[in-house]
Structure 1
Amino acid sequence: MSVLSDILLPLVDRLGDGPSAALFGLITGVVFGVAAQRSRFCLRAATVDFARGQLSDRLTIWFLTFSTAVVWVQGAQLLGLMRASDARMMAVPGSWLGAILGGLLFGVGMVLARGCSGRLLVLAATGNLRSVVSGLIFAVVAQMSLSGMLAPLRDRIAGVWVTSGGQNLDLLSALHLPQGAGLAIGLGFAALALGLARHNRIGASRLIFGAGVGFAVALGWVLTFALSSLAFEPVQIESATFTGPSANTLMFFLTRPAVLEFDIGLVPGVVLGAFLAALATREFRFQGFEGTAPLRRAMIGAALMGFGGMLAGGCAIGAGVTGGSIFVGTAWLALFFMWIGAMATDLLLDQRHPLPA
C-alpha cells in the first residue's frame, strides 16, 4: 500500500467502503466547484471563442485546466499514487462510433444550452435558474440513456464499432511512448496555456483556480485508487464526470438506494463548492430565462448533452479532462468531436442568429 493508503486506512475502517467513496466524491466535488466557479472554466465558452478566431481568456483557462489535469495525474502515476490501467474507463471496452456521434451531439448541445453539464451545475449553484432547468433535463435524459427507454438505442449505436481486446485504447501504449511521455505532453500543453495567459494578461488568482479544476480531477483519481487498495469490495477507480453521476444522483434522491458511492458525493460537492464560492465573492444572484427561444434552445441542448454524453462515455469533463488525463483513446476522440460539434453550431447558428445573453 502507498503512504496515502496508510493515512486513509483509519478513516475507511471507521466509515466503511461506500461512505468513504461518497466522502471522497464530496471532497473532489467541493474542490472542483470552488475552482470552476472562480476560474469561469467552461469548454463551451472556449470552443465558441476559438470558432470566432479569438485566443481569449476563456480558451486559456480551458487549456490550463486540461494541461494541469494531465500533469497532476501523470505525475501521480509516476509516484505510484495512481494506475491508469486500473481505471474503469480504461479497463472496459470503448465505443469509437459512440465517441464520434456522442461527442458531436454533446458539442451541439452545450452551445444550445450555453454551457456544458459541469458548467450548468456550477451556474445552478450560483442562482442561475436557467441552469437548474437545463441540468434537470440533462440528468433525466442521461438516466433514460443509461437504463431507461433510450438505453437500447445507445447500446445499439455504441456496439457498432468498439475497441479491441476487451478494454479501451491506451494512447501512450499504442504509440509506444516511453514512461514519462504523458507528463511531458501535459507540460507542453501547460506551456501553451501560460503563453496564452501572458497574452491575455490573466491574473494569478484566476490561473490558480483554473489549475485547481485540473487538480480536482487528479484528486478524484488518487483518492479512489487509494480506496481500491483498502476496500473489501471492488471499488471503481474514477474521477470527475457528470453524465453518469448526474443520473445516479437524481435516482439516489428519488429512490434513496442503500448503496453509497463516489458519484453520490461528487455532484452535491460541486454544488456546495460553487455555492460557497459565489457567496464569498457576492456573486450569488437569481437569474431566469429571457423569453421562450432561449428556454427552448436550452431544453433541446440539455437533452442532446444527456444522450450524447452517455453515448460518448463521458461529458466535457468526464471524457474531455478526466479521460483525457489518462490518455483514454475514445475520450480524446470524443473531446475532438465535442469541439467540432460546438464550433459548427456556433458558426452555423449563433453567429447568424444571435440570441441575447
Structure 2
Amino acid sequence: MSESAVRPSTALTLPTARIGGMTVCVVLLLALAWNAAAQPHGTLRLAESVPIGASLGAVLLLTEFGFAGAFRRVVTHGDVSAFRAHTVMLGVASALMIPMLSLGHVFGHALHGEATPIGVAFILGALLFGAGMQWGGGCASGTLFALGGGNARLLGTLLGFVVGSGIGAWSMGWFWTLPALPGVTVQALFGTWGGLAIQLAVLLAAFVAMRGSAIPRRLLIGGIALAVLNAATLVVIGKPWGETSAFALWGSKWAGALGFSPESWAYWLRPGFTGKLAAPVTLDVTSLMDASIVLGAVLAALASRRFDWRSRFSPRAWAMALLGGIAMGFGARLANGCNIGAYFSAISVGNVSGWVWMAAALAGSWIGVRLRGN
C-alpha cells in the first residue's frame, strides 16, 4: 500500500452527488471505449482495454494493493507481509501468462513478452524508480489509483512522471550505448514448463520463508485479481500490463509542442514506434488504460464512499511529489518499465530482468527513505 492509500471518508456521501459522479465516470468510460473502436484506425481490441483498465483501477483502490509502501516497509521495518502477497500475485500471473505466451497467438493475434536487457542503464533506472517511489508518495499504479481516490498531491507526481519520462525518451539514445547483457527468460533457459516450474518453486519458497507474516485478506484478493486482469490484458492487447510508456508519449508530445523534435529521438525511431507521435493519444492503448484506471478508481471510491478530495499539502510535500515523479519517470525509461511493466509483468511472463529490477528498486527505496528523512 502506498503512502497515498485511500481511506473511507464522509466526503461526497450525499446520494445525489455520489450517483452523479458515478454516472459521469461511466459515461466517460463508455465514451473512451466507443471512441477507441469508432475512430479511424481504432479497433475493438482498443475498446476492450477500457473495461480492463477500469477494473484494475477499482481493484487497486478497493484492496489498496500497492508497491511503494510494500518496498518501504521492507527496508524500514523488515515487514514482508505485503511482499508475501506479491508472491501470490506473481505465482498466479506466471501460471496463467507463461503458458499463454508459449501458444504464440490467441484469438488470431500475436502475444508478446519480450525480454529486457540488463545493464548499467537498467539498474540505474530501477534504483531511481525505487527512490522516487518513496519521494513521490506512490508508484506508477499507486499514483493513478490514489489520484482517482481524491489525493490531489498525486497530480504533482503524475506531472513529474510525464516530465521525467519525456527526458528519459530524449536521452535513451545515449543510455542504450552503455554495457548490457541480453535479455533472457526462464522459458528460454529451461523451456516453457521447466521455466514455469522453477519460477513457481522460487515463489513458493519465498512465500514459505515469509510465513511469519500474515497476508491481509484484502491484499490476497487484490493480488489474485490483479494477476487475472494482467492475463486478460495479455489476451486482449497482445502484451502484458504496462503504464509508463504512455507518460513518455505524453512528455514527448509536450516537447514537440514546445518546439523540440522528438520524432528525431532514437527512442521514437525504433520499429513500431515511428508513428506513435503523430497518432492521437486515444489510439495509444497504454494511455487508454491509464485513463481508465483513474476513472475506475474514481468510480470505486464513490461507490464505496471512499472518495476524499485532498489538496492542502505543504510546499515541501508538493515539491517531493514532483521530484519523486521525475525520478520515477526517468527511471522507468532507463529500466523499460515501472513497478508494473518492469517488475510485476516482467516476472509474470518469465523475464529474469524482473527479479533484478526488484532487488535494485529495493536498494533504491532504502536510499530514497534515508534521503527523504521526515
TM range, normalised to the smaller chain?
Answer: 0.7 to 0.9
Structure 1 match to 2:147: 124
Provide the residue aligned with 1:246 in structure 2: 247
So what's the TM-score if we normalise by structure 2? 0.73
Contact kept in structure 1, 2:187 and 2:194, CA below 8 Å: no
Tell me if 1:87 matches 2:112: yes
Name the residue aligned to 1:59: 83
Q: Using structure 1 for the length normalisation, give the TM-score.
A: 0.76
Instruction: Return the offset for 1:299.
Output: 1.3
Task: Kindly provide the amino acid, as one letter, of the partner of residue 114 in structure 2.
Answer: M
Cross-structure match for 1:229: none
Q: Check if 1:74 corresponds to 2:98.
A: yes
RMSD: 3.3
- The 2-side partners of 1:100 and 1:114 are apart by 22
1:185 aligns with 2:199: yes
Q: Which residue of 2 aligns with 1:207?
A: 220
1:264 corresponds to: 287
1:322-337 matches, cutoff 5 A: 322-337=345-360
Counterparts of 2:39 and 2:131, CA distance in 1: 42
8 Å contact kept, 1:94–1:313: no
Q: Please tell me whether the aligned partners of residues 332 and 338 of structure 2 are also in contact (alpha carbons under 8 angstroms).
A: yes
1:141 is aligned to 2:164: yes
Residue type at the aligned position of 2:249: N
Aligned residues: 315
User: For 2:307 and 2:226, how far apart are their aligned partners in 1?
Assistant: 20
Match of 1:342 among 358, 361, 365: 365
Query: What's the CA shift string for 1:59-103, capped at 9, x where partnerless?
Result: 3333333332222212434676669x952633xx63522211111
Aligned residues of 1:35 and 1:210 also touching (Cα < 8 A): no
Unpaired segments of 5 or more residues in structure 1?
Answer: 1-11, 226-237
Judge conservation of contact 2:58–2:299 (CA < 8 Å) in 1: yes
Unaligned runs of 5+ in 2: 1-35, 258-276
The sequence identity of aligned pairs, in percent, is 21
Aligned ranges for residues 1-357 of structure 1 at < 5 Å?
18-77=42-101, 87=112, 89-90=114-115, 94-146=117-169, 151=170, 153-164=171-182, 168-173=183-188, 175-177=189-191, 179-182=193-196, 185-186=199-200, 189=203, 192-193=206-207, 199-200=213-214, 202-203=216-217, 205-225=218-238, 238-248=239-249, 257-258=279-280, 260-346=283-369, 348-350=370-372, 353-354=373-374
> Kindly tell me: are residues 336 and 198 of structure 1, through their superposed partners in 2, closer, same or farther at Cα, counting changes over 3 Å?
closer
